A and B are shown apart, each in its own frame.
Chain A
Amino acid sequence: DQQVKQNSPSLSVQEGRISILNCDYTNSMFDYFLWYKKYPAEGPTFLISISSIKDKNEDGRFTVFLNKSAKHLSLHIVPSQPGDSAVYFCAASARNQGGKLIFGQGTELSVKP
C-alpha cells in the first residue's frame, strides 16, 4: 500500500513562476515530513522539512505547507529557476519508526527558460 503518494508524475513551469508540488499521505502516525530533490544516478538532496506541530516552514525560495486534516503537504518554489529542474520526492516518518522514511513516487519538475 502506498502510504505516501505524489499523484503528478511531472510538472512543467515557466522560469520565474511558482512551482507547486503536492503530496498526500494516509498514515496518521506520520509526524515528520521532508522534501528531497534528486538528479539521475545521484543521491537525493535534502531541501526542507516540517514537523506535524507546524503548518508552514520556509527556507529561502522553498516553502512547505502541511494540512494535517487533509493529510496533504505541498512544496512551493518561488521563483522557479531552470536549475530547479529535477525529480522531487516527499518523504514521511513516524515517531516510533526511527530513521525509516517512506517516500512518494516523485514528481519530475521541468522549469523552462
Chain B
Amino acid sequence: KAGVTQTPRYLIKTRGQQVTLSCSPISGHRSVSWYQQTPGQGLQFLFEYFSETQRNKGNFPGRFSGRQFSNSRSEMNVSTLELGDSALYLCASSLTGGSNEQFFGPGTRLTVL
C-alpha cells in the first residue's frame, strides 16, 4: 500500500503571499489531520478532516484553512503569509481518526522570506 504523500516537498514564499499544500492519504483512510512543526513549538495540531468535514480544529488563526475532497485527499491553505509560518507542515491519515494510528507523510517544508 502506498503511504501518505505530500506535495510539494519544499516551498519558498514571501510575506503576504498565500500557499496551498496537498496531501493524499493512504488508500481507504478517511481521516486526514494536519500538523505544524517548528523548533520552538514542536508538533502542533492544525485541523482534522473526516468525510469532507472539518471535525476538529487547533488554535491557529483563520489564515489557516483546509478542505477535503470526496476521495479523501486534502489541501491546506495559508493566506497572508508571515515569517512565523515558516515550518514543516505534516499531514497524517488514519482509518477513522480517534483510537486509530495516524500515519504521517514526509511533510512540506515552507520557508517564508
> Chain A residues in contact with chain B, CB under 8 A?
31-32, 34, 36, 41-46, 49, 51, 89, 91, 93, 95, 97-106
Say whether A105 contacts B42, CB under 8 Å.
yes
> Is B72 engaged at the interface, CB distance under 8 Å to the other chain?
no
Chain B contacts with A in 1-50, Cβ cutoff 8 A: 4, 31-33, 35, 42-45, 48, 50
Q: Tell me the count of chain B residues lying within 8 A, CB to CB, of chain A.
A: 30
**CA distance in complex: A100, B31 (Å):** 10
Q: Are B56 and A97 in contact (CB under 8 A)?
A: yes
Could you tell me if A43 and B31 are in contact, using CB atoms closer than 8 angstroms?
Answer: no
For A89, what are the chain B residues with a Cβ–Cβ distance below 8 Å? 43
B88 to chain A, nearest CB (A): 7
Checking A36, A44, A99, A106 against B98 with a beta-carbon cut-off of 8 angstroms, the contacting residue is: A99
Assuming A98-B50, A101-B33, is B88 touching A41 (CB within 8 A)? yes
Contact yes or no, A43 B97, CB < 8 A: no
A43-B4, A99-B100, A101-B102 are known; give 18 further A-B pairs, CB within 8 A: A41-B88, A41-B107, A42-B106, A44-B43, A44-B104, A46-B102, A93-B98, A98-B50, A98-B56, A99-B32, A99-B48, A99-B55, A99-B94, A99-B98, A101-B33, A101-B92, A103-B42, A106-B42
